[in-house]
Structure 1
Amino acid sequence: MKFLCHVHTVQRLAPGIYQVILAPHYPLDFKAGQYLKLTLAGKDRYFSIASCPSQPGLIELHIGASKTDEGVLSAIAALHEFKEAKLSLEIEGPLGDAWLRKESTNPILLIAGGTGISYIMSLLRNALHHKLKQNIYLYWGAKGINQLYLQQELLMLSEQYPNLHYVFSLEEPNEPIICREGLVIDAILNDFSNLHDFDIYLCGPINMIKEGKTRLLEKCSATSGNMYGDGLTYV
């Protein structure tokens, strides 16, 4: 389905990471874990929805853009232009079937690498909104602490909800901080020996998804039918 929206805000959350808020002309009916297709600077780009379906009036996206990624930087510039000119942007979606299985009572493992947290946050916000009772484990991996741009929100949520357990892992800790060091998948393997009965959701760089799927299946007896993430289609 195609629909029109205005670009409400574009702001930098961290070095190379932007938050985009879209205001659809009509509330968008979507499921937690779905994504949108935007055509920007002449190229189709796909972004996970970070917001919760209970708040359909504004759609939140997170976009990672390194200094050398001219294509993504051009997309960010185009979004700024739509905002300043108050032009309507045509969007396609919602897309994808890796949404939150709210009917399941299995414990939930959410795994994010970098801006893959956008997909994970939609799932988490929806799970908390529906007051799911099972344990929810969220693991977020990044290069350094400055890339954990939702750190304070996640720490607050983990204090507010006893069934939410948040762990972050840094590949290159650049300041004294108590955290896991290394790959986020290694942190999970250190904490779990059997994930057979878990619903597992993954989002991040394709290499992380590929390695994560392989190692969780082999080392932790994860169930492939209970693993979700649009990136799994390509590994």
Structure 2
Amino acid sequence: MKISDRLLKLVSFIPKPCSVADIGTDHAYLPIHLEQNYECKKIIASDIKSGPYQAALKNVEKFGLEREIEVRLGPGLSILDPYKVETVVIAGMGGITISEILSANQQITDSINRFILQPMNASAALRDWLINNKFKIIDEDLVKERNRYYEVIVAETGEEIIHDDFILEIGPRLKEKKPESYVEFLNTKMKNWQHILNKLPDTKNQEILNKRSQLEGKIAKTQEVIRCL
């Protein structure tokens, strides 16, 4: 099965042989690709919604992989038992939602060796949650698909200290690795912040003034990061 560049990027961070659960699997494209191309000890595909769950079941049956891939219906990590898989992929959801999934089932979360996360938004909030809940961000990467950048965050149990919250916006490992598309990614973030800034009303309301100051600070710091690359 041919899968998107975004999913291929996620696959690249999954330790092989695979022992993995894909939470929010949608059509089970990633689990099917893993089973077809790698040695896999265990693969679980799950979704909270009946429609995607049925689609996943249909695709797994289409490729004759019913024995190799377990398809489960249910919310978040609740469909797992502790220590049954080593890696969990959660992709295509907001960063806040991912944080809520990780915090909802602490026993299961603590049993996972590696989380591979791809937030659709609020990536800084997700990184903040990870660091404040005894996780270390061991790797990050970017993938561009349909004119949009997707951030991939790889986390394992550990300790990490971030002295400047702004680093959570631009990715601590991204800043270290400086992937080829990093400058374009940062410019995109600045454009988004500038767009929000331009829409703020001209007022003396303190909340709005604080928001304006935060956005201007992010833009200035991002410009400095780009100058230093």
What's the TM-score once normalised by structure 1's chain length? 0.35
What's the TM-score once normalised by structure 2's chain length? 0.35
Relative contact order higher in (CA < 8 Å, ≥ 6 apart): 1
- In terms of fraction of residues, the more strand-rich structure is 1
Higher-Rg structure is 2
